[in-house]
Amino acid sequence: MNSIKIQGISKIFDDYRAVNNANIDIKEGEFFTLLGPSGCGKTTLLRVLAGFHQHEEGHLYFGDQLMDDVPAYKRNIGMVFQNYAIFPHMTVFENVAYGLKARKIKKQEIQKRVTDALEMVELSHLKDRQPSQLSGGQQQRVALARAVVIHPGLLLMDEPLSNLDAKLRLKMRYDIKELQNSLNITNVYVTHDQEEALAVSDRIAVLNAGEIQQIGKPHEIYLSPVNRFVANFIGSTNFLDGKVGDNDRLLVAGVDLGTAKLTESYRGEVVYSVRPEQLSLATESTQTNTVNGKIVGALFLGETVEYKIRLENDQEIQVHEHAVSYQQLRSVDENVRVHLNPADAVIFNESGEEALNIYGNRYETA
């Protein structure tokens, strides 16, 4: 088991920086996720941790040991690849035993540890099968067993669930989380699926274009995104045009929302960012802080109804409401009033690069 210190690491390919000056402290036994759109550098950073890429700048520590020049085979890592990378010419048992044989462990112990690992992923009955006879989910679990059977100091997973169908993906999420909990291995997990990241992680680093945008617990990243990119990438978000005027008055879509509570003084255009489920449709005419609009689209999803609403200023926003009763369902073309609660919203400066009303810190390490 290891803590990991990523200190100013950059990975440069020819003429561009795939990862630029990454600083992350990962605690022992933590489930840490690198999250970002494809091409953001998350897999590159994972491969730097694994030792498949050599970084050009910065230092990598496992515990207090410098790992910059340690080759992959000496790092004692377990890696689960996106395509599983099961050896096709070996049985399930041989696949899982591979790393143990490489470590010259006694035959009896190999037998025992492989059996235990296969039991853990519920595959002991398939140990003599060829990989080609396994389903995607089973291959996935062989890869998992193969990675953890060597008792790695660090478990690395590169989008392990992206090739599974939706239902299996949800089940494997729980399985992986449970496994990681019971083994208490430090785990670095790469995904582009924000929902998956929120579900499994202790902490998440959001990456974009090789730069870390924010590091935080799932709820911090969701509720207090530090910039417009994070707010947009995690979950769905409405961005409304606003303005902070004299006496810190906050104006959004033409509505005066009172005094803006900002961490620093600011004057000028702002972006008012609010989640669709944080907005509500006003029921009483007396309610304040409302914007008039018209429903232009409605999707009934069972649990929630997603309304697309065009505001008076022609901006379209999304509002999610729980579908509780018939009376509550609204139809297209209905005129509604959207209630804004400034306490829920995140307010960014004009360029969207900085949150003005939260204390977000992209390199917080607590």
Q: Which residues of the shown chain bind another protein in the complex (CB under 8 A)?
A: 50-52, 71-79, 81-83, 85, 87-89, 98-99, 101-103, 146, 150
Given the complex with another protein, which of 52 and 222 has the nearer CB atom?
A: 52
| Closest distance to another protein from the beta carbon of 231 (Å) | 34
Given the complex with another protein, which of 34 and 50 has the nearer CB atom?
A: 50
Given the complex with another protein, which of 51 and 225 has the nearer CB atom?
A: 51
Given the complex with another protein, which of 98 and 222 has the nearer CB atom?
A: 98
Q: What's the CA gap between 307 and 250, in Å, rounded?
A: 25
CB crowding 57-90: b at 16 or more within 10 Å, else e: ebebbbeeeebeeeeeeebbbbbbeeebebeeee
Given the complex with another protein, which of 55 and 75 has the nearer CB atom?
A: 75
| Closest distance to another protein from the beta carbon of 209 (Å) | 25
Q: What's the CA gap between 146 and 128, in Å, rounded?
A: 15
If 0-12 CB within 10 Å is exposed, 13-18 middle and 19+ buried, where does residue 350 land? middle
CA atoms within 13 A on the CB side of 239: 18
Q: Is the dihedral of CA 204, 59, 210, 189 positive or negative?
A: negative
First vs last C-alpha separation in the chain:
19
Given the complex with another protein, which of 35 and 50 has the nearer CB atom?
A: 50
| Closest distance to another protein from the beta carbon of 206 (Å) | 25
Phi, then psi, of 203 in degrees rounded to 5: -140, 155
Task: Record the tokens describing residue 87, joined without a space.
Answer: 């050896």
Chain position carrying tokens 């232009």:
296
Given the complex with another protein, which of 53 and 320 has the nearer CB atom?
A: 53
Q: What's the CA gap between 3 and 29, in Å, rounded?
A: 8
| Closest distance to another protein from the beta carbon of 64 (Å) | 23
Q: How many residues does the chain have?
A: 366
| Closest distance to another protein from the beta carbon of 126 (Å) | 19
